[in-house]
């Protein structure tokens, strides 16, 4: 009879331990993602020249340039050199003296 009680007690401890482990296991929607590395290419330089924007991108030992009028940049996104991304102007005032230039990279 003592062997039966001992077996029952051990079984009970094992089951309670498994229940605690099941509760401690993370759900599939949680976790930690770590990224390592560095940025290896600079962003493009965008310069305002009169009524135009000139974008220069340094890639593979070459400086690539593209030029667009500010009016076309405000009307629709314009491509950076070699289609690396695009620029788009959003005016903040009606006189078109204050705006936000957004540069998006592919």
CB 71 within 8 A of CB 51: yes
Q: Tens digits of per-residue pLDDT, 7-62? A: 444 455 555 655 555 455 556 678 888 878 877 778 899 998 888 999 999 988 89
pLDDT of residue 19: 53
Q: Which residues, in sequence order, are bridge partners of residue 105?
A: 85
The tens digit of pLDDT for each residue in 65-82 reads 999 998 898 889 999 999
Give, as one character, the DSSP assignment of residue 8: H
- Helix H or strand E segment including 55: strand 52-59
Residue ranges of the domains in the chain?
45-105
Assess whether pLDDT exceeds 70 at residue 2.
no
Stated length of the chain: 106
Closest CA to 101 of 37, 44, 34: 44
């Amino acid at each position: 009879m003592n062997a039966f009680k001992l077996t029952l007690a051990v079984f009970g401890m094992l089951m309670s331990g498994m229940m605690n482990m099941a509760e401690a296991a993370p759900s599939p929607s949680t976790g930690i993602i770590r990224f390592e590395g560095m940025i290896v290419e600079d962003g493009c330089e965008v310069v305002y020249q009169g009524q135009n924007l000139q974008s220069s991108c340094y890639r593979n030992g070459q400086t690539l340039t593209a030029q667009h009028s500010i009016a076309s940049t405000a009307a629709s996104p314009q491509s950076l050199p070699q289609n690396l991304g695009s620029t788009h102007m959003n005016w903040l005032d009606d006189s078109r003296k204050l705006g936000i230039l957004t540069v998006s990279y592919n």
